[in-house]
Structure 1
């Protein structure tokens, strides 16, 4: 038994640096067999599924968060507001004009006038 141990120690002393690590990796691959490939594939699958599930969860949470505001905006715009599909716009480019939310644009225009006039009055007062 002592001969085998001294032979093994002599063999390990001859292997220096990275070659011992290569030998250990080869030993693990030989002992594990095809299960090591299966483990690598499953770990990659868990990585991909985890990331996609995480992003999907946040996307639907964001949609649930803004849904009441979108409903209110559609109520405010009435029946005039719609979002055309991309292939409809490429076929009929003038359709973009009909997709502009009229009430919101008018409200933003009046608000900008109010802010411009208010800033002008404020600068005259000071």
Structure 2
């Protein structure tokens, strides 16, 4: 009789701990909600297509951002005498490298450096 009672108590304790664990899982799912499911889907996606493809997707976004920055820069420098020679032209005439720097950007960089230098000198 004692053995049966001990087994029943052991079974009751297991049910009780399983109930609390299940309740904890349900609470986490309700609080975390869609974020938890999205993270599980992203992990499955990484497992399915591989980490390299996942990284390439992010790098393509960065490349698109840099291309838009380059277009804005070229649009900003369209009134200067900015000449971008090819590598073959630079190899044949190295002096062309002196004509490559964008004028407006260099002048802004010079003025910014002077402004920051004077500001730091005044602060000290």
What TM-score, normalized by structure 2, do the two folds share? 0.50
Q: What displacement does 1:115 show?
A: 0.5
Structure 1 unaligned spans of 5+: 1-49
Look up the match of 1:66.
66
How far, CA to CA, are the matches of 1:51 and 1:87 in structure 2?
38
How far, CA to CA, are the matches of 1:86 and 1:110 in structure 2?
31
Q: Which has the larger radius of gyration?
A: 1
How far, CA to CA, are the matches of 1:83 and 1:51 in structure 2?
37
Q: What displacement does 1:61 show?
A: 2.1
Look up the match of 2:100.
99
Structure 1 counterpart SS, 2:78: helix
How far, CA to CA, are the matches of 1:122 and 1:81 in structure 2?
37
What TM-score, normalized by structure 1, do the two folds share? 0.49
Q: What displacement does 1:59 show?
A: 4.0
- Give 4+ residue runs of structure 1 displaced > 3 Å after superposition: 50-59
How far, CA to CA, are the matches of 1:67 and 1:74 in structure 2?
10
Structure 2 unaligned spans of 5+: 1-49
Q: CA RMSD in A?
A: 2.4
